[in-house]
Amino acid sequence: MIQKSYLIERLRSCKISTLNDLAILTGSPIISTNKSCRIEGLTAGYYFYLNHYHKFLSTQKQRTTLSIDVGIKNFSYCKSKSSKSTSSSTLTTSNFPIIITKWDKLNLDTQYGGDNYSSILHKDSILDNKRYLNQLTKSLVNELQPNEYDVVIMEIQRTRSAGNTSTLPTVLLNYTLENLIFGNIYPQIVIPMTSFKMTNFWLHRFITRSTTNTKQLKSNNNNKGIRFELMKLWLNKLFILPKYPQNELTKLDLLKYLKLDKSEKIDDLIDSLLYNLTINRQFQHLAEFHQLMVSNNGDIAQFVHDKNKYHLQLIQPIIDKYELELKPGSID
């Protein structure tokens, strides 16, 4: 493990824009916008990874990941393993494409509630509502078996309803479920991630907030259509669906493959996969950044440039199709 003082010295030599991109690439916390706080966040993220997850590289173990998209009616999860282990002495070997080992969507009321719960006061009482939600959570965690996975990542809920009071009860219910899941999995680490952070990692950080972009994104049902198109592009490149019968991803074929009803929506399924891809990509970047630091002569700015360039290649067909405007400097 490299000395913290050396890491800080290397980071201090970088521009703030480089530090900002590096934080996004590695999933490090952004404590504040000034340079010292950015370095503090990057240092924390780097050592968090080294202390808890880098060990899977040295043991040559295929890293396993459980990703969760929270919801009572549309709870989705995705389980994966890396396609091959990355040697701690090799910079070029990649864990991608990851192999999807289980991908499913559940209605928790149907799966674990209903006749499986007997009220002790009244079905609409606060007492029974809280006991019922705890039963759903315990049954869910028992089925997911998070302790069998090296990495667990979960969507965390927005704590407001974006001005729409009709959605507030659902927001609060999902927020409660999220915290119950955290409590039932504790002390195992569960990495929290917002939908904004996930979509920013893949797309939004590269494009401007111009009127053109806003209209294009809204016309695709708040990015949901674009997210599915990204999955179509990344099949067999970033992830593999074993024995998937087609070369191209379609909604009907995917639902059939997952043995789900053809009327089911796939938005939450797609998000659970995206969380899985995001954390695996961030850990890949951290592993390679670690090698860069160990080598003593690596160029951090060039490292960030190369990762951004590859990332842009992944989303270029979407940028072209919807004529999205790139931020200045994105393609330098």
pLDDT (tens digit per residue) in 258-273? 999 999 999 999 999 9
pLDDT the model gives residue 159? 60
Say what the pLDDT of residue 87 is: 47
Residue-level pLDDT at 166: 64
**Residues of the chain whose pLDDT is less than 50?**
86-92
Q: How far apart are the first and last CA of the chain?
A: 33
pLDDT (0 to 100) of residue 247 = 82
CA dist 201 → 70, 76, 275, 276 (Å)? 20, 20, 10, 13
Residues 6 or more apart in contact with residue 273 via CB below 8 angstroms = 67, 78, 100, 103, 231, 239
Q: Give the span between the Cα atoms of 175 and 196, in whole angstroms.
A: 16
Q: What is the rounded distance in angstroms from the CA atom of residue 331 to the CA atom of residue 321? A: 17
Give the pLDDT of residue 315: 96
Kindly list the distances between the CA atom of residue 266 and the CA atoms of 35, 103, 132, 181, 269, in Å, as whole numbers in the listed order.
40, 11, 27, 22, 5
Question: How would you classify residue 267: left for phi > 0, otherwise alpha for psi between -120 and 50, otherwise beta?
Answer: alpha
In CATH, which superfamily holds the domain spanning 61-280?
Ribonuclease H-like superfamily/Ribonuclease H (3.30.420.10)
The residue ranges of DSSP E strands in 143-182, in sequence order, are 151-155
| Cα–Cα distance, 294 to 271 (Å, whole number) | 35
CA–CA dist 62, 149 (Å, integer): 11
Nearest residue to 293 via CA among 32, 8, 38, 95: 8
Residues 231-260 as b or e (16 or more Cβ within 10 Å = b): beebbeebbbbeebeeeebeeeebbebbeb
Query: What residues contact residue 164 under an 8 Å CB cut-off, 6+ apart?
Result: none
Q: Quick count: other Cβ atoms within 10 Å of Cβ 299?
A: 11
In the chain, % of residues over pLDDT 70: 89
CB neighbour burial string for 185-206, b if at least 16 within 10 angstroms, e if fewer: beeeebbebebebbbebbbbbb
Give dist(CA 18, CA 307) in Å, integer: 12
